[in-house]
Amino acid sequence: MKPNDPRDIHPLVKTEGGLLRDMLASAETDHAREEQLEGLHSRLAPLFTTALPIAAAGGVKAATKLAIVKAAAKSVLSIKVAIGVAAIGAASGGAYYVVAHRAPAIAPVVVPSAPRVQTTAPPLPTATTPAPTIDDSAPAPSAKKPPTTKVPVDAAAEFDLVQRGGDALLQRHAGDALSLANEHARRFPGGAHAEDRERIAIEALVDLGRTDEAKTRARRFFARYPSSAYRPRIESLVPGAR
Amino acid sequence: MSFEAIYREHAPFVWRFVRRLGIHPADVEDVCQEVFVVVHRRYADYDPTTLLRTWIAGIAMRTASDHRRRAHRRHETVGDVPEGAAPPTQGEEIDQARARLFLDRALDELDDDKRAVFVLFELEQLPMAEVAETVGIPLQTAYSRLAVARKKIEEAARRVQLALASKAGVR
């Protein structure tokens, strides 16, 4: 990580003495250590040899819906890879600066420009091993589906673009993030996630060192979204744009 | 995708997320295990039109919430300074462990949804659209919960700051 990289200076609520900055930055200690993940892996080992349940009726319906999304939007949903973590904060009406700690990618990055393959379809059973012996008493998730599961195809495709752009940004693939944001701007200029898209584009431009463009786009952003939740973050990344 | 591949891809996120949802460090592994057991058991319910991460995060939220209710943890007021904690002198940064403790206490003041929104947006840095979907609330509601959460966290930090300053004053 480059020292004094503008991407590492993130907005954060700055209270007297920078205590809140320290508090949020301390979340960096929440990363699992390799041995902890391996310990958990061992505990879950019985499940790794047990086939995932095949999608029931609902899952089949969902898979059909996905096919429609793919065909109509020409956009394939993708599983996202490991998430970089940054200690970030912001609040209305304050000064915000913090050193963020973007974690290195833990898993290989899916290159957004490459054809994406839906990898989440439940696989066929591969084993008939006995039921796992670990405790299976965990609470079941509610049947409630997130609101976006019923959105039109275009909305799903739009959401997918924004998520891919956001993940590319987290992985510090600024060029990919900018391409995805620009693709979103072309296809969904007034889309529901235009604010997210602009934030991604601005941060990507900063990452790429295209400061003037970032500033221009940030000014437009502030004019259009004066009370955006992203405003403090963008103000700290693009000083002088407000 | 095999279940092991799902684990490899999402375990680091789940680990951080449940920790930040208020699970004691000593319990994080147990809760993560519960999460992945549910992921395995309920995989047929997964709707692939949503991100797998979103679905898993929803399971993590519910599992962590249930665990916290069962744990009956002793509630401590934000602003209480740990015994023996020396107040920082001017310019001295508080150590990371204490800062993390204060963060926990500040986050504990938020209800489950606001905490999840704050953690996912501010710490995990996910787009708000994904945050809203994970928590299962409309986008605008997510924004308003973030605003409330930020305010509460700021207030909590100020109270800790005052408590530290007060302790420094009586010494």
For residues A136 and B147, the model is more confident at: B147
**Residue A218 pLDDT:** 93
Would the CA dihedral through A157, A162, A168, A171 be positive or negative?
negative
- In this prediction, residue B129 has a pLDDT band, given cuts at 50, 70 and 90, of confident
- Nearest 5°: phi and psi at B78? -60, 135
Half-sphere CA count of A211, side-chain side, radius 13 A: 9
Judge whether B18 and A47 are in contact, CB under 8 Å. Answer: no
- Mean pLDDT throughout B150-163? 89
**Residue B1 pLDDT:** 80
The residue of chain B with its CA nearest to that of A168 is: B126
From residue B112, give the alpha-carbon distance in Å to each of A139, B58, B64, B109. Answer: 16, 12, 9, 9
**Residue B62 pLDDT:** 95
**CA triplet A56, A70, A166: central angle to 5 degrees?**
100
B58 and A83 within 8 Å at the Cβ level: the answer is: no
Judge whether residue B88 has pLDDT over 70.
Answer: no
In this complex, which of A23, A32, A121 lies closest to B15 when CB atoms are compared? Answer: A32
Instruction: Mark out the alpha helices in chain A (DSSP H runs).
Output: 19-25, 34-48, 57-73, 153-170, 174-187, 194-207, 211-224, 231-237
The pLDDT mean for chain B works out to 85
- In this prediction, residue B10 has a pLDDT band, given cuts at 50, 70 and 90, of very high
Token pair recorded at residue A117 = 């393959």
Judge whether residue B11 has pLDDT over 60.
Answer: yes
Task: Tell me how many residue pairs between chain A and chain B have CB atoms under 8 A apart.
Answer: 272
pTM for this entry: 0.61
Radius of gyration of chain B (CA): 18
Would the CA dihedral through B154, B119, A10, A197 be positive or negative?
negative
Judge whether residue B75 has pLDDT over 60.
Answer: no
Chain B positions in Cβ-Cβ contact with residue A125 (cut-off 8 Å): none
Judge whether A36 and B29 are in contact, CB under 8 Å. Answer: yes
> Quick one: which H or E segment has residue B34?
helix B28-41
- Cβ neighbors of B95 (< 8 A, separation 6 or more) are none
Kindly report the nearest CA distance between residue B28 and chain A, in angstroms: 10
The CA distance from B105 to B82, in Å, is 12
- Mean pLDDT throughout B51-64? 95
The CA distance from A59 to B139, in Å, is 25
- Nearest 5°: phi and psi at A99? -85, 120
**Residue B79 pLDDT:** 46
Bridge partners, residue A9, by sequence: A99
Place of tokens 């394939």: A76
- For each of chain A's 242 residues, which pLDDT tens digit applies? 333 343 343 344 444 447 888 888 888 889 999 999 999 999 999 999 888 876 554 444 444 444 434 433 333 233 232 223 333 333 322 223 233 334 333 333 333 333 333 333 334 333 333 434 444 444 444 444 444 444 566 888 888 888 889 888 877 789 999 999 999 999 998 888 898 899 999 999 998 999 999 999 999 999 998 888 888 778 878 887 77
Judge whether B38 and A66 are in contact, CB under 8 Å. Answer: no
The CA distance from A94 to A13, in Å, is 7
A147 and B100 within 8 Å at the Cβ level: the answer is: no
For residues A95 and B8, the model is more confident at: B8
Residues 90 through 129 of chain A touching chain B, CB cutoff 8 Å: 90-92, 94, 106-107, 118-123, 126
- Nearest 5°: phi and psi at A107? -125, 160
- Nearest 5°: phi and psi at A97? -150, 135
Radius of gyration of chain A (CA): 21
In this complex, which of A17, A24, A147 lies closest to B138 when CB atoms are compared? Answer: A147
Closest CA to B61 of B4, B2, B118, B125: B118
The CA distance from B27 to B22, in Å, is 10
Closest CA to A5 of A96, A99, A109: A99
Judge whether A179 and A113 are in contact, CB under 8 Å. Answer: yes
**CA triplet A119, B138, A237: central angle to 5 degrees?**
80
Highest mean pLDDT among B51-60, B64-73, B154-163: B51-60
**Residue B153 pLDDT:** 92
